[in-house]
Amino acid sequence: MAKNPKAPDTRSGRSPTRRPRPRRAKAVPEASSAADIEDLAPSVPGAAAPGAAAPTALRAQLLRWYDAHRRDLPWRCVSGSEEERAYAVWVSEVMLQQTRVPVVVAYYERWMARWPTVRSLAAATQEEVNEMWAGLGYYRRARFLLEGAKQIIEKGLFPCTALALREVRGIGDYTAGAIASIAFNEVVPVVDGNVIRVISRLYTIADNPKESSTVKRFWDLVGQMVDPLRPGDFNQAMMELGATLCSKTKPGCSQCPVSSHCQALALSREKSSVQVTDFPRVVPKAKPRSDFAAVCVVQIAQGLEEEAADPKGNDHLFLLIKRPEEGLLAGLWEFPLVLVDQGKTDLLNRRKAMDKYLSKLLSIDMVRKPDVILREDVGEHVHIFSHIRLTMHVELMVINLKDGVDRLCKKGADSTKLKLVNESCVESMGLTSGIRKVYNMVRAFKEKSLAVSEIGHVPTRKRTRRLKR
Ligand code: SF4
């Protein structure tokens, strides 16, 4: 998102050194089903709210501050065509939803090194994209990015207005406004959590910022304020102010470029009972739902005789299951996981549930057929999603399949619902942070509990008996 685009606009033939002429948004975008995941935008922002101000001085002060203090972020240094900048803005803005800038920078750089253009992204697989996204959370964002890229390539043109961008899968009003204003210089607003904080304070708005009427008001206000000549910079400056100086708990009002316009600051000086941090109103978050799961890290010995087996168990395979294509963590790989009722989280019930699940999945009688070499409770890991608190009760199970793993491997290759991978593959593949923690727990457990034996690897049943004597 270069401030001054240097490369020619391939569609308009615009001078490479000139900033694209600002485009006025013709109409407020209609709502579509393709909403951003964390989008706050109203469907149809309406008329200007009374009392709104679009002071020229405020714009000028804000932009001057932004020019002098803006952070050097990789997506702000993209030169090239409008389309290239639009792609960079898109990727960065989607990554930045619910994720802090320092975390995003590394992900963004890896992503752009692998898929530098929307066309290259469109050719990627969902699995590759998930792997690249692993650890960023909110995986639906990655999925929408890929689907959106495919849609754009199919249509043959990168949409260049907020209205057209809203038609792309996963792009809502926020992302559309950011891409349109920053990459295409369209005069449209952008409202995110940072902007809401700044606007709430500038205009002492104490209404519930989660309510749609209040959100609409924010869009209206910012819509009137956007600089007609530098809409992208203005939007970024607002977000930058909210992300840096106008922070949630410790705003740096003494250095704020727009403090002379800030009604919250003025009010706090008049009344000692008021603080600028009273704005926006803090709305208590809904308590997350509590879920409980049995997770079994299944390690499969390949039916080799003890003498032929790798003494460290490196030839063992881990069983991974693909989650359903819809819902939480859609399409991602995990260790076998079964949800259990809160009242049934004891070991017996968890094992019962897991055995039933594995029997069906692997077509194995879990009680009779496999030679379970080891089955140990490893511990608990609590993973917090935005709306769920998931307690995972983790166990490790090592199975010796006497007839080898060929049958299971075939099943995995056929169904694409399960796969068997070796340890180095688990180490390097993109797992969700929750599943990665489960894996690390198991690894630490093995190191602590099993490697202390004189054998130094996962014991067979025979060895276990020997150790007990
Ligand atoms: S004066 Fe303080 S509260 Fe007001 S916008 Fe600036 S940093 Fe935020």
pLDDT tier for residue 325 given thresholds of 50, 70 and 90: confident
* 176, two tokens: 């559309």
Q: 200 alpha carbon to ligand 1 midpoint, in Å? A: 10
Which one of the listed residues 82, 83, 84, 93 is annotated catalytic?
93
* Token pair listed for 338: 């079964």
Cβ(398)–Cβ(316) below 8 Å: yes
Residues 6+ apart with CB under 8 A from 201: 246, 251, 262, 263, 264, 265, 276, 279, 280
Q: How confident is the model at residue 404 (pLDDT cuts 50, 70, 90)?
A: low
Beta strands at 289-301 and 337-340: parallel, antiparallel or unpaired: antiparallel
**Span 437-462, pLDDT tens digits:** 999 999 999 888 765 554 445 444 44
pLDDT, average across residues 111-135: 94
Does 82 qualify as catalytic in the annotation? Answer: no
Across the chain, mean pLDDT equals: 82
Q: Quick one: average pLDDT of 296-300? A: 92
**Ligand 1 atom at minimal distance to the Cα of residue 198:** 5
Q: Which atom of ligand 1 is nearest to the CA of 276?
A: 3
Task: Compute the distance between CA of residue 417 and CA of residue 77 in angstroms, rounded to an integer.
Answer: 41
Residue with tokens 């168990």: 313
| Ligand 1: centre distance to CA 43 (Å) | 28
The rounded distance, in Å, linking the Cα atoms of 224 and 45 is 12
**Amino acid identity at 336:** P
Closest to 35 measured CA to CA, from 157, 162, 175: 175
Is the pLDDT confidence value at 13 over 60?
no
Ordered by where they begin, the domains of the chain are 23-278 (1.10.340.30), 289-468 (3.90.79.10)
Contacts of residue 132, defined as CB under 8 A and 6 or more positions apart, other chains included, come to: 107, 110, 111, 114, 142, 430
239 Cα–ligand 1 center, Å: 13
pTM listed for this prediction: 0.78
| % of residues, the chain, pLDDT over 70 | 77
In 156-192, which ranges are continuous DSSP H helix?
A: 162-165, 173-184
Which residues' Cβ are closer than 6 Å to ligand 1? 198, 201-202, 245-246, 251-253, 256, 258-259, 262, 264-265, 276
- Ligand 1 centroid to 253 CA: how many Å? 5
CA-based nearest residue to 348, from 294, 291, 298: 294
Residues 6+ positions from 407 with CB-CB distance below 8 Å: none
Asked if residue 50 has pLDDT above 70, the reply is: no
List Cβ neighbours of 442 (8 Å cut-off, separation of 6 or more). Answer: 297, 378, 394, 396
Q: Determine which residue's CA is closest to atom 8 belonging to ligand 1.
A: 246
Q: Do residues 112 and 84 touch, judged by C-beta distance below 8 A?
A: no
CB 361 within 8 A of CB 321: yes
**pLDDT tens track for 332-391:** 899 999 999 999 999 999 999 999 998 888 777 777 666 788 899 999 999 998 889 999
For a substitution probing ligand 1, which of 199, 249, 259 has the most ligand atoms within 8 Å of its CB? 259
Secondary element (H or E) of residue 263 = helix 263-270
Closest of 468, 459, 136 to residue 316, by C-alpha? 459
**Which of 239, 256, 269 has most ligand 1 atoms within 8 Å of its beta carbon, as the pocket-test mutant?**
256
Residue 18 pLDDT: 37
Structure confidence at residue 316 as a pLDDT band (50, 70, 90) = confident
Specify the range with the lowest mean pLDDT, choosing from 23-37, 126-140, 255-269. 23-37
Q: Rg of the Cα trace of the chain?
A: 27
In the reported structure, the alpha carbon of residue 55 is separated from the centroid of ligand 1 by a whole-number distance in angstroms of 16
pLDDT at residue number 310 = 53
Rounded to the nearest angstrom, the distance between the alpha carbon of 259 and the centre of ligand 1 is 5
- For a mutational test of ligand 1's pocket, the pick from 61, 69, 222, 245, i.e. the residue with the most ligand atoms closer than 8 A to its C-beta, is 245
Which of ligand 1's atoms lies nearest the C-alpha of 259?
A: 1
pLDDT at 413: 47
Higher per-residue confidence, 284 vs 171: 171
Short-list 266, 230, 294, CA closest to 3? 230
